[in-house]
Amino acid sequence: MAKFKLKSGDTVRVIAGDQKGKEGKIVKILTKDNKAIVEGVNLVKKHTKPSAQNPQGGIIEKEAALPISNLAIVENGEVTRVGYRFEDGKKVRFSKKTDKAI
């Protein structure tokens, strides 16, 4: 299983691809595929059959997964890379641009 520097709940910006420049929160990380689902980014239309949850059926819009390599974490409105260090015996993520803990 792969280890990523991004986590669910992080605010990220898309830095490559069709969705470049868009921002949102990570909803879910798909570790097997090296992808993440970002809220409000990479929306696709999906045709659904009628079911108990959706008796009408029809076309819904939902977020599709994006490669994690195309995402960068946003801190104070700027993209930054993430590093790790130990503070008081705990492993902490920090911003390489501002050198502050995330």
pLDDT band, very low/low/confident/very high, at 102 (cuts 50, 70, 90): confident
Tell me how many domains the chain contains: 1
CATH of the domain at 71: 2.30.30.30
* pLDDT tens, position by position, 49-59: 999 988 999 99
Residue 27 lies in a domain: yes
List the domain range (segments joined by +) for residue 87.
11-95
Q: Please state, in angstroms and rounded to a whole number, the distance separating the CA atoms of residues 88 and 35.
A: 32
Lookup: tokens for 36 = 């993440």
58 Cβ partners below 8 Å, 6+ apart? 47, 48
Q: What is the pTM of this model?
A: 0.85
What integer best gives the mean pLDDT of the chain?
Answer: 94
Say what the alpha-carbon torsion angle 90, 91, 95, 96 is, to the nearest 10 degrees: 120
Residue 52 lies in a domain: yes
Tell whether the model's pLDDT for residue 2 goes beyond 80.
no
Residue with tokens 């993430």: 82
